[in-house]
Amino acid sequence: MVQFNVASREIILKIVYYGPALSGKTTNLQQLHGRIDTAACGKMISLDTKDDRTLYFDFLPVQFTTDAGFKIKLKVFTVPGQVMHRSTRKAVLAGADAVAFIADSQKSQAVANAYSFKDLEKNLQANGIDFASIPLVVQFNKRDLGEIKTMEEVKKSWADTDIPIYPAVAIRCEGVVETFDALVRRMFHSLDKKHDFQRKFKITEDQFLENILKSLASSK
């Protein structure tokens, strides 16, 4: 959950990218990292296994200062998608303020997507986080591959939820910024509802989003 440090005038927020192995979580963060002003963004840290899968997390810190003089630090993580690393996923998910679920569009990965989403729900509950209220978006990545579910099929299967769905080809940065933009907006609405964020810290949704995304550009 959001961390407030009144003494140092800091607000620390946490976003987690979740999903099955090799769905494109790390690629999303790499694309974001490459499009954020280096003055606002720290080093991206990746810990990988020998087969180049994310073992623990990618950490992408972004920060800015509000008009009220509060420094906002946004930390973005990914989790390992392999089934064997469930305890690690649970640990990384602790304290999350928002989650982006990255699914693989290939029909062959439908079971892996379903397992991972159910795993997300269980791990949120295990961390004392309400699954029904946490800001959440879903990205269906790898739209450039063959044998994928159509977006009509995807939207039909998610019709009973109010979770926004975004198509993506993360390796080309298609849908990456749109997914992040939507997640940040939903996170801000949640923070404002729970903590009266706009009034207390003198920042509007547009200012919040602009500061985070000010250097993101698809042409970069």
What is the number of residues in the chain? 220
Average pLDDT of the chain to the nearest whole number:
85
Using the structure block, give the residue that is written with the tokens 């892996």: 112
Bridge partners of 73, per DSSP, are 12, 63
Task: Find the Cα–Cα–Cα–Cα dihedral 12, 17, 21, 26, rounded to 10°.
Answer: -80
Amino acid code (one letter) for 115: Y
Using the structure block, give the residue that is written with the tokens 């991972």: 116
Q: Which region among 32-41, 53-62, 69-78 has the lowest average model confidence (pLDDT)? A: 53-62
Mean pLDDT of 72-89: 77
pLDDT of residue 216: 54
The percentage of residues in the chain with a pLDDT greater than 70, rounded to a whole number, is 84
Mean pLDDT of 190-206: 89
Residue closest to 127 by CA, chosen among 170, 94, 168: 94
Mean pLDDT of 23-45: 78
pLDDT band at 89; cut points 50, 70, 90: confident
Looking at the predicted structure, is the pLDDT value of residue 131 above 60? yes
Name the E strands within 6-125: 10-18, 45-48, 54-65, 71-78, 98-104
Alpha-carbon distance of 179 to 201, in angstroms, equals 25
Looking at the predicted structure, is the pLDDT value of residue 91 above 80? yes
pLDDT: which is higher, 8 or 112: 112
**DSSP H/E element including 191:** helix 176-195
- CATH no. of 3-213: 3.40.50.300
b/e burial code for range 43-59 (CB count within 10 A of at least 16 → b): ebebeeeeeeebebbbb
What's the whole-model pTM score? 0.89
Looking at the predicted structure, is the pLDDT value of residue 215 above 70? no
Looking at the predicted structure, is the pLDDT value of residue 50 above 80? no
Q: Which region holds residue 68: left if phi is over 0, alpha if psi is between -120 and 50, else beta? A: alpha
- Specify the pairing of strand 98-104 against strand 10-18: parallel
Query: In the chain, how long is the greatest CA-to-CA distance?
Result: 54
Mean pLDDT of 191-207: 89
Amino acid code (one letter) for 189: H
pLDDT band at 169; cut points 50, 70, 90: very high
Looking at the predicted structure, is the pLDDT value of residue 124 above 50? yes
Listed ranges 6-10, 41-45, 171-175; the one with the highest mean pLDDT: 171-175
Amino acid code (one letter) for 110: A
